[in-house]
């Protein structure tokens, strides 16, 4: 594909969905000027969200659409617009509405916390009390205390202040998926 791009520059690339979005991310890093449209066989939340995180300008669902709609999608993305269905847009809005989290990793870059624990750390860092965190996540206050004890143990800290300082120095702000209760 790189040879073809070098010979004949392209404006829009159609990329077939794969198990992960690493190919799309890699392609976006090497060719940020090319607009990308991810082609999906099935409508699922994760590939849609990951596609836009990875630089896609459009997501096209092959099963429910005609060739004429694909052409329209390519044309719109070429014009600088975003192509997304209402259902896909709902996935992105849900993702944006989730509280931001912290990716806390050890010195080797290995995640130390579960996604739910990352949510709890992010909300602690935002200054929320256990009660407010419980309300935010739809859990009991007792459950939040249990999460905090596990987090303290995993990170080797003993107070909320130490937790926030640890998260700020070892993690980077990163959106975390909403984890159902």
Taking only the tens place, the pLDDT of each residue in 9-27 is: 789 988 887 655 677 877 8
**10 falls within a domain:** yes
Range of the domain at 129: 98-175
**pLDDT tens digits for 60-112?**
988 878 899 999 999 999 999 999 989 888 888 887 766 455 566 667 777 88
48 vs 41, 52, 132, 171, CA distance in Å? 11, 7, 31, 25
User: Considering the entire predicted model, what is its pTM?
Assistant: 0.53
Cα within 13 Å of Cα(39), Cβ side: 14
pLDDT in tens, 164-181: 888 777 654 444 444 544
Q: Which residue has the higher pLDDT, 115 or 17?
A: 115
CATH of the domain at 153: 1.10.10.10
Residue 25 in any domain: the answer is yes
Q: For the CA atoms of 61, 59, 16, 10, what is the dihedral angle to 10 degrees?
A: 130
Of 115, 143, 114, 113, the C-alpha closest to 130 is 143
Own/partner contacts of 115-121, CB < 8 Å, gap of 24 or more, are 115/176, 115/177, 115/179, 116/147, 116/179, 117/147, 117/150, 117/151, 117/154, 118/176, 119/176, 119/179, 120/144, 120/147, 120/148, 120/151, 121/151, 121/163, 121/167, 121/171
Q: Is there a single domain that holds both residue 83 and residue 21?
A: yes
pLDDT, position 144: 96
Mean pLDDT, all residues of the chain: 81
pLDDT, position 177: 44
Do 90 and 9 share a domain, yes or no? yes
């Amino acid at each position: 594909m790189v040879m073809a791009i070098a010979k004949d520059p392209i404006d829009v690339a159609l990329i077939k969905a794969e198990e992960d979005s690493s190919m799309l991310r890699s392609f976006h890093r090497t060719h940020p000027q090319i607009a990308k449209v991810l082609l999906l066989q099935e409508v699922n939340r994760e590939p849609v969200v990951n596609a836009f995180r990875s630089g896609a300008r459009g997501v096209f669902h092959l099963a429910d659409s005609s060739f004429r709609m694909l052409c329209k999608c390519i044309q719109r993305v070429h014009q600088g617009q975003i192509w997304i269905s209402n259902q896909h847009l709902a996935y992105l809005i849900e993702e944006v509405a989730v509280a931001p989290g912290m990716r806390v990793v050890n010195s080797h870059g290995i995640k130390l916390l579960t996604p739910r624990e990352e949510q709890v750390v992010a909300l602690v860092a935002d200054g929320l009390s256990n009660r407010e965190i419980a309300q935010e996540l739809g859990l009991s206050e007792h459950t939040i205390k249990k999460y905090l004890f596990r987090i303290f143990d995993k990170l080797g800290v003993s107070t909320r202040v130490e937790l926030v300082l640890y998260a700020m120095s070892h993690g980077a702000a990163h959106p975390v998926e909403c984890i159902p209760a």
